[in-house]
Structure 1
Amino acid sequence: MSRRTGRVPTLVLALALAVAVLGLVVFAVVSSKTDTNASPASVAPSAKPSLGPLGELAHRKPGDPLALGRPDAPVTMVIFSDYRCPFCAKFSKDTERALAKQYVDAGKLRIEWRDFPIFGDQSMQAAIAGRAAALQGKFWEFNHAVYDAAPDKGHPDLPPDRLLQFARSAGVPDLARFQQDTKSPQLAQEVRTDLAEASALGVSSTPAFSVNGYPVLGAQPTELFKQQIERALAGAS
């Protein structure tokens, strides 16, 4: 009887240690799978990117409707984005337009768009719709209309009728042509080309950026982008 009683505390202690170890393992697994696109505030601005130097990605094509700024600007920012990504919308509203006002308008920065539709068929259709708007000179107006209407969290619903509404509010002049162009195999192929480029670079989430070949991941604070642009400007001078 006494020997059984003596073994009880030992068994309890062993069980407690096993539970503690299991808890640590679960915590480590969950932590390792945390979404890299969690709230931008949770990502330290000084965090090192998980991608290495990307090299020159900018096309610098004169008259490119999916670009802002001079083709010969000393700094280029390539954006990989999805219209259904809430963090892409945050970047558009909080950062992109501020950078355009400060650097694009001054001839120091060129911003080039790349479609990276990773949130389903509606993301793909929205990307094609953006290019359909671009054919009528209204890409950025359409782009901003979609992002301005995006919720702070979650993925917006972007069926064809809503994309048409965005085209109308963006001032696309020929809506019948816009609707026809959203069915264009050529535009769909252009989107797939962007998607393949991003995948080949190792991009796995949106938004993602290349500033003169230096990767920046996530909707980081505006100040971080300004710092990287200033470093690139200093290196280009």
Structure 2
Amino acid sequence: MKALSKPLLVTTAVVVGVVLAGLVVFLFSKAQAPDPAAAEVVSADSHVLDDAGDDAVTVVEFLDFECEACGAYYPVVEDLRQKYAGQITYVVRYFPLPGHFNSTNAAVAAEAAAQQGRFEDMYHRLFETQAEWGEAQESRAQLFRRYADELGLDMSAFDAAVSNPETEQRVQADFEEGRALGVGSTPTFFVDGQPLVIERWNDLEVAVQAALQR
């Protein structure tokens, strides 16, 4: 089976074991693909973790909360955000892979938290607990609800958001736009609108440094 894009390649043997174990790529029918001309790397409702202003370098990550490769890159991303605070705008978009049973459930939980202004809190919680629920073959929606409760969210509003079809549609909109942009695996990064091929742990930082120097 062919994929939309080449899988994530990492030269270090240890990294290969971690990243490729969580990497999933897949094939879609071209007849069902959205119009690439209408796709935007950042949409009006994209979740911005760090906003450094109009002149900043913009990094966009299409991610799947259940993806082990995304989980492996999570601390790399957090270090990058801290190191380049005030210099980069960091944007997160959903790309739940079909092969992960709870990827959409996790994204819906994050989006429900976002409706209360708590996206980043849920973003952190989902990655920090990924080992507890990732690869489960049954719904972990109740576990995600518990996380929301522990974060102090309004649970009536959270439950209403989770059950509202528009919440999942918001997740799906990111997914479809990602497909139109050529995203086929996670994590996929764009730096100032250009897709980045990751081969080494520091490729993202190298790309950010190069963009800052332009």
* TM-score (norm: length of structure 2): 0.74
Q: 1:95 aligns with which of 76, 87, 109?
A: 76
Q: 2:50 aligns with which of 65, 68, 80?
A: 68
Counting only pairs closer than 5 Å after superposition, residues 138-153 of structure 1 correspond to structure 2 as 138-151=118-131
**Structure 1: distance between partners of 2:181 and 2:117:** 29
Q: 1:183 aligns with which of 144, 160, 163?
A: 163
- The reply on whether 1:227 has 2:189 as its aligned counterpart is no
Query: Cα 1:160–1:56, aligned 2, differ >3 Å: closer, same or farther?
Result: closer
Tell me the equivalent position of 1:57: 41
Tell me the equivalent position of 1:36: 7
Counting only pairs closer than 5 Å after superposition, residues 108-147 of structure 1 correspond to structure 2 as 108-118=87-97, 119-120=99-100, 122-147=102-127
**Structure 1: distance between partners of 2:161 and 2:149:** 15
Bigger shift: residues 71-80 or 212-221: 212-221
Query: Cα 1:71–1:173, aligned 2, differ >3 Å: closer, same or farther?
Result: same
**Structure 2: distance between partners of 1:127 and 1:192:** 10
What letter corresponds to residue 207 of structure 2 in structure 1?
A: Q
Q: Structure 1, residues 57-90: CA drift from partner, whole Å, max 9, x if none?
A: 23477xx654322342421111100111011111
How far off its partner does 1:219 sit?
8.3
How far off its partner does 1:197 sit?
0.8
Superposed CA RMSD: 3.1
Query: Is this contact kept in 2: 1:83–1:126, CA < 8 A?
Result: yes
What letter corresponds to residue 164 of structure 1 in structure 2?
A: R
Q: 2:190 aligns with which of 199, 205, 210?
A: 210
How far off its partner does 1:211 sit?
0.7
Tell me the equivalent position of 1:25: none
Query: Cα 1:130–1:185, aligned 2, differ >3 Å: closer, same or farther?
Result: same
- The reply on whether 1:164 has 2:145 as its aligned counterpart is yes
Q: Among the aligned pairs, what percent are the same residue?
A: 26
Query: Is this contact kept in 1: 2:48–2:89, CA < 8 A?
Result: no
How far off its partner does 1:120 sit?
4.2
**Structure 1: distance between partners of 2:8 and 2:205:** 20
Query: Is this contact kept in 2: 1:128–1:188, CA < 8 A?
Result: yes
Q: Structure 1, residues 135-191: CA drift from partner, whole Å, max 9, x if none?
A: 112111111111111229x6356511111122233x242122112211122221111
**Structure 1: distance between partners of 2:11 and 2:157:** 38
* TM-score (norm: length of structure 1): 0.68
Tell me the equivalent position of 1:83: 65
Q: Secondary structure at the match of 1:182?
A: helix
What letter corresponds to residue 227 of structure 1 in structure 2?
A: V
| Structure having the larger proportion of residues in helix | 1
